[in-house]
Amino acid sequence: MSNVHKESLGRMAVFLLPLKKLDKSIERRVEQFLLNEYGGFTARPIDSTGWWKGAHGELHYDVHREYKASFIGKERIAKLDQFLAELARDMDEECIYVETGEDAWLVYALAT
């Protein structure tokens, strides 16, 4: 018999933001959104680097800050997608990489 108690926090959402475009106002905006919508978050204290190929085979590199938050219910993904699309537009990024559950996505900036 075990006396361990566990509580599910649901699925994990992970997204990367380019460090060079993270000013204090963007950081506060992200933090407030995650606290208000998901009740908490984790931001990696050590930034991650990434390499990827563009649509025409060109190689890209950037340094990112990783954010994580947990959520229960797939319906909550849409609100995160909307927020990230707005954030991408405001940061002048084409898209933002996000993982929700077992899936990885590119969320594209909203048209201006």
Q: What is the pTM of this model?
A: 0.87
- The DSSP 8-state label assigned to residue 55 in this structure reads T
- The DSSP 8-state label assigned to residue 75 in this structure reads G
- The DSSP 8-state label assigned to residue 74 in this structure reads G
CB 20 within 8 A of CB 81: no
pLDDT of residue 44: 85
- CATH 3.40.50.1370 is the classification of domain 11-108: no
Q: Mind listing the pLDDT tens digit for each residue in 58-80? A: 898 889 999 999 988 888 899 99
* Residues lower than pLDDT 70 in the chain: 1
Q: Where are the alpha helices (DSSP H) in the chain?
A: 24-38, 77-90
Q: What gap in Å lies between CA 23 and CA 51, rounded to an integer?
A: 22
